[in-house]
């Protein structure tokens, strides 16, 4: 099969021929149709320090995908050949305390598809049956199916705290931040403000439902509070960027008793005034991935019930390229200006 492959941290990412994976007794083999490019994939391509901490050699990356089931193991009983599916990228141990207590998203031995095990930048990928999400017939396009993983990140983050009637600050209007804006609007937020340094992405956030946007290269968040008449600060903060300055400015603009959910992975140490966190009684929650599988049920239910949300999430995909043009796709994703980039693995 054709696959993007990285032989070692220092090796280039290349489109090569690789052996097709074989499913085990509890596994499902999927013909990949579309696969989204994630920030993690950019780290893997670069072979940087972040990639060194999390990846293994001889890796096929890619963890955001949609495809068709073509083979199942002999003990698979809930997934059928021909099903159109996406995949939960975190493969858990099922034996640690959290797994056995039903908190699988907190597994201490998680292995990630396309990071510690073979991924979906390929014509075929194999994952356990328990990681397969079967879509309803005709309900999801290949492009939308390819971004269920990052959409799940947005849903998990945005729904961490009750959202109805609250004023929400989203720092980082990348694809996941834009989707978080759309989810917050669906979930009943009162005012939503998004920040970024890309005017294109800020306009995408407006289209997704933001009431106001702030280009933090030229303006401070406090100006948005004044425009919207927010006298006491934001009730909920969703930190999606990982930028060193984002969290401190978010804290500065939170109401007393505010709640912050943080998905963005910091690229360095973040200075935070912890006395302000204490005296303002701010609740802080780290977010990693999706709740398995409560988030997936919520995603599908929201898309099924809300055509506007479906349109807004679908619009996050701005580039669809043949897998043979993967280098252009990675360059577009790395530019930080557009939305989600998806590779089409059905055309060679």
What pLDDT, in 10s, does the model give residues 154-174?
A: 999 999 999 999 999 999 999
Q: Mark which of 244, 270, 286 sits at the end of a domain.
A: 286
How many CB atoms are located within 10 Å of the residue 57 CB? Answer: 9
Based on the domain organization, do 206 and 277 belong to the same domain?
yes
Catalytic residue, candidates 34, 43, 90, 130: 43
Out of 22, 26, 34, 40, pick the active-site residue.
Answer: 40
Reply yes or no on whether the pLDDT at 211 is more than 80.
Answer: yes
* CATH code of residue 97: 3.90.180.10
Please check whether residues 213 and 248 belong to one and the same domain: yes
Report yes or no on 309 lying in a domain: no
* Alpha carbons 241 and 171: distance in angstroms, whole number: 6
Residue 113 domain-assigned? Answer: yes
**Cα atoms in the 13 Å half-sphere on the side-chain side of 215:** 11
- pLDDT of 61 > 90? The answer is yes
Domain of residue 42 covers 2-147+316-344
The Cα 319–Cα 140 span in angstroms is: 17
Number of domains in the chain: 2
Pair (131, 114) in one structural domain: yes
Same domain flag for 255 and 198: yes
For residue 105, indicate whether it is catalytic.
Answer: no
Cis before 265? omega within 30: no
- Band of residue 209 on the pLDDT scale cut at 50, 70, 90: very high
The reply to whether 105 and 172 lie within a common domain is no
Q: What is the mean pLDDT of the chain?
A: 96
Average pLDDT over residues 187-200: 98
| Segment 216-268, tens digit of pLDDT | 999 999 999 999 999 999 999 999 999 999 999 999 999 999 999 999 988 78
**pLDDT value for 262:** 97
- The predicted-structure confidence for 283-323, as pLDDT tens digits, reads as follows 999 999 999 999 999 999 999 999 999 999 999 999 999 99
**Could you give the CA distance from residue 224 to residue 249 in angstroms, rounded to a whole number?**
13
Full-model pTM: 0.95
Domain containing residue 220: CATH number: 3.40.50.720
DSSP state string for 150-188: HHHHHHHHHTSS--TT-EEEEE--SHHHHHHHHHHHHTT
Q: Is the residue at 121 inside a domain?
A: yes
Give domain status of residue 310, yes or no.
Answer: no
Confidence check: pLDDT of 12 > 80 = yes
Q: How far apart are the first and last CA of the chain?
A: 11
**285 vs 156, 237, 238, 261, 288, CA distance in Å?**
11, 10, 10, 5, 10
Is 337 among the catalytic positions? Answer: no
Average the pLDDT over 50-74 and give the result. 95
Residues 243 and 321 grouped into a single domain: no
Q: Which of 286, 304, 333 is the last residue of a domain?
A: 286
Would 308 be classed as within a structural domain? Answer: no
As beta bridge partners, residue 237 has: 169, 260
Q: Is residue 303 part of a domain?
A: no
The per-residue pLDDT for range 95-153, each reduced to its tens digit, is: 999 999 999 999 999 999 999 999 999 999 999 999 999 998 877 999 999 999 999 99
Domain co-membership, 339 together with 280: no
């Amino acid at each position: 099969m054709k696959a993007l492959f990285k032989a070692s941290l220092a090796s280039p990412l290349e489109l090569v021929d690789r052996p097709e994976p074989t499913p085990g007794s509890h596994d499902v083999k999927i013909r990949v149709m579309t696969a989204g490019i994630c920030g993690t994939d950019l780290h893997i391509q670069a072979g940087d320090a972040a990639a060194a901490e999390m990846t293994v050699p001889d890796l096929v990356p890619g963890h955001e995908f949609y495809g068709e089931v073509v083979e199942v193991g002999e003990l698979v009983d809930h997934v059928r050949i021909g099903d159109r599916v996406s995949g939960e990228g975190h493969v858990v141990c099922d034996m640690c305390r959290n797994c056995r207590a039903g908190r699988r998203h907190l597994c201490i031995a998680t292995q990630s598809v396309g990071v510690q095990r073979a991924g979906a930048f390929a014509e075929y990928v194999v994952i356990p049956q328990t990681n397969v999400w079967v879509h309803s017939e005709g309900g999801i396009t290949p492009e939308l199916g390819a971004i269920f993983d990052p959409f799940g990140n947005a849903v998990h983050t945005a729904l961490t705290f009750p959202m109805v009637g609250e004023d929400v600050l989203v720092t980082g209007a990348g694809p996941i931040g834009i989707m978080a804006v759309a989810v917050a609007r669906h979930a009943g937020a009162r005012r939503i403000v998004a920040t970024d340094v890309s005017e294109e992405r800020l306009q995408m956030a407006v289209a997704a439902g933001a009431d106001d946007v702030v280009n933090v290269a030229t303006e401070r968040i406090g100006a948005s509070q004044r425009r919207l008449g927010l006298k006491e600060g934001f009730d909920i903060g969703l930190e999606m960027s990982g930028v060193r300055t984002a969290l401190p400015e978010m804290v500065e603009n939170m109401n007393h008793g505010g709640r912050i959910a943080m998905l963005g992975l910091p690229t360095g140490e973040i200075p935070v005034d912890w006395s302000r966190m204490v005296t303002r009684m701010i609740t802080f929650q780290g977010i990693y991935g999706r709740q398995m599988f409560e988030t997936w049920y919520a995603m599908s239910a929201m898309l099924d019930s809300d055509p506007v949300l479906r349109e807004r999430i679908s619009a996050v995909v701005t580039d669809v390229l043949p897998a043979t043009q993967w280098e252009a796709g990675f360059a577009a994703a790395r530019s930080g200006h557009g939305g989600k980039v998806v590779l089409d693995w059905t055309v060679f």
